[in-house]
Each structure stands twice: as C-alpha cells, then as structure tokens.
Amino acid sequence: MSHTSFPDAVREHADLARGALLVGLVGTGIGPSLSPALHEGEARRLGVRYRYRRIDLADWGLAPEAVGDVLAITRDAGYRGLNITHPCKQAVLPHLDELSADAEALGAVNTVVFEGGRAVGHNTDWSGFTRGLAVGLPGAALGSVVLLGAGGAGAAVAYGLLTAGAGTVHVADLDGDRSAALVESLRTGFGAGRAVAVHGDDGLAAAIGSADGLVHATPTGMAEHPGLPLPADLLRRDLWVAEVVYRPLDTELVTTARARGCRVLDGGRMFAYQAAQGFRLFTGEEPDVDRMLSHFDHLVRTSGEGTSDVG
C-alpha cells in the first residue's frame, strides 16, 4: 500500500502525463486488464498522445461507493474520462451529471466522459456486443434468442439484442431472481412479449430447441471457472452461438460449438468494439476497429489465461 494519498497520486499521474489525453479504468481487481495496452496501442498508431491508467479501488482500500470521489478527483486533475468496470457500473450512476439514453435505459455505465466539467455516462457494452454480432455473425437470425446469464454482461447483451430487433429473448440464470428482474426491466423497455424467463434444465432445453441463437453471459469458461455452461447436445448445428467470455477466447463452449458445426462468435469482438467506441468518445478520433480487434486477440493470446477478465 502506498503512503501517497489517493488524490495526490492521481494528481502526480496527471502531471507526469504532460498534456497527453488522460483516461482511467476504475474497478476492483483490474490488475490483469488488457484495456490500457489496447487503448494506448491504438492511440500510438494514430499519433494521439494518450495515457490510460488503471485505478484499482482495492489498491487504495476503497469501496465501490467511492467511485463518486474518484470521478471528482480525476475530473479535477484534468482527466478526459474513465472506463468503469466491475463492481462500479451501477454505483457510478448517482454521481453523473448526464446519461446517454441507452445508459439510462440499461441502468449501467461503462464509460464516463468529462465535458466542460460535467460527467456524462455512456454504455458501450451493449453496442459493442451488437456491432460484434452484426460483423462477426452477419445475417444471424434474431427471431428467438436464448441468453444464459442475467448479470451485468447479460443485461447489456439483452438490451443490444432487442435494440437490434430480436423478436424474443429467453433469459436463463441459476439465480431465478436475477433472470426475473432482467425480464421485467426488458418488458418495461421493449414490450411484454419481447422477454421471457426460462426455468430449470427442461425449460432451457426447450427454449434452445426452438431458438435461432444462444448467447452465453455467465463466467463459465473463464480460466478459474472452466467447463461448459450447458449440455453439449443442446448445441445443434443450425444454432448460432455467441460467447461473451474472452479470457480465454477459445472457451470450452466456443470449441465445442464449433466442433458441433455451429456458427460461433467468441467474446473478443464485444470487448474490442466496446473499447473502440470508448476510444472514439474519449479522443474524437476514428479508431481502426479491425486493428484493435487483432491487437486484442494478440494481447489475450500472449497474456496467459489471466485470473480476471474485467475491462
């Protein structure tokens, strides 16, 4: 633990940046995050002077609720903005001056831009997923989609799917309260028939049996949660499968679904596209999204399995 106070450390970092555009990632346990390398790499290639710093609340003994102080301190130190990750995407909401319509509807923010002293919240997770799906699985049918996992990533995916015109999203989660809450909020935003909760193994099998696609948004498949999130024989070859886990990119679901002949999207595109959208908001520059995607792929494959894939 450093002896420098948190505000002093932020100011020191800002001074060291010497006029470069300064951006931070705020969350807990973000040491292994690939976002700094991804953002700074793109800035270098575009000739933008840009520094992207990790602000790990755990390093400073700070609770998620301290995110409001972090906003005030970084804004005053001259930061251009922040990415917000677990566990602060909702905790940050009361501290913002303005929200994009999508972030407001989703009730979660992963990007904050300081505009003339005002903190403006955006959500690029949902748009990253939707764009990644459109480019990575062009023409994927969206009549009926099963979403496994109703946490933060699942909520962004569901919002993205329905915004992109999905007919019905069938939501399954081990925690029935979570799937019910997500379904409720989706019905409020998009209409009663657009979201349905799925119950139990039989309910999941039936929903997948008549679905066009499956999106997986639980932590299963990460290095510390290995395995398949559902029985392999539910993966019919005419079902498309989108994964949100990206460390590793080739999760057991991805490799199993490919082997069974499904069209498969790994979790890399969602991540790279949300990062590209954040970069655009912070810099006003147009990033080369394909270059960011291949850089991200390289970073994931060379950084080891990692123990965390936040931000």
Strand partners, 257: none
| Residues contributing to the site for ligand NAD (CB under 6 A) | 86, 125, 128, 148-154, 172-175, 178, 217-220, 222, 229, 244-246, 267, 270-271, 274, 309
Residue closest to ligand NAD, measured at CB = 151
C-beta of 6 vs 126, nearer to ligand NAD: 126
Residue 165: CB minimum distance to ligand NAD, A: 21
Judged by beta carbon, residue 111 or residue 274, the one nearer ligand NAD is 274
Between residues 235 and 270, which has the closer beta carbon with respect to ligand NAD?
Answer: 270
Q: Least distance (Å) from ligand NAD to the CB of residue 101? A: 20
Rounded Cα–Cα distance for residues 179 and 116 (Å): 39
Distance, in Å, from the CA atom of 113 to the CA atom of 61, rounded to the nearest integer, reads 25
- In the numeric block, which tokens belong to residue 132? 């990644």
Dihedral over alpha carbons 193, 137, 221, 300 (to 10 degrees): -140
Identity of residue 167: G
Question: How, if at all, do strands 144-148 and 111-115 pair?
Answer: unpaired
Rg from Cα positions in the chain: 19
Residue 114 CB, shortest distance to ligand NAD, in Å, is 23
- Which of 39, 51, 89, 95 is flagged as catalytic? 89
Q: How far is the CB of 118 from ligand NAD (least distance, A)?
A: 26
89 is catalytic: yes
CA distances from 49 to 19, 134, 147, 290 (A): 8, 31, 40, 21
Reduced to 3 states, what is the DSSP secondary structure of residue 303?
coil
CB of 196 or CB of 244, closer to ligand NAD = 244
Catalytic residues: 89
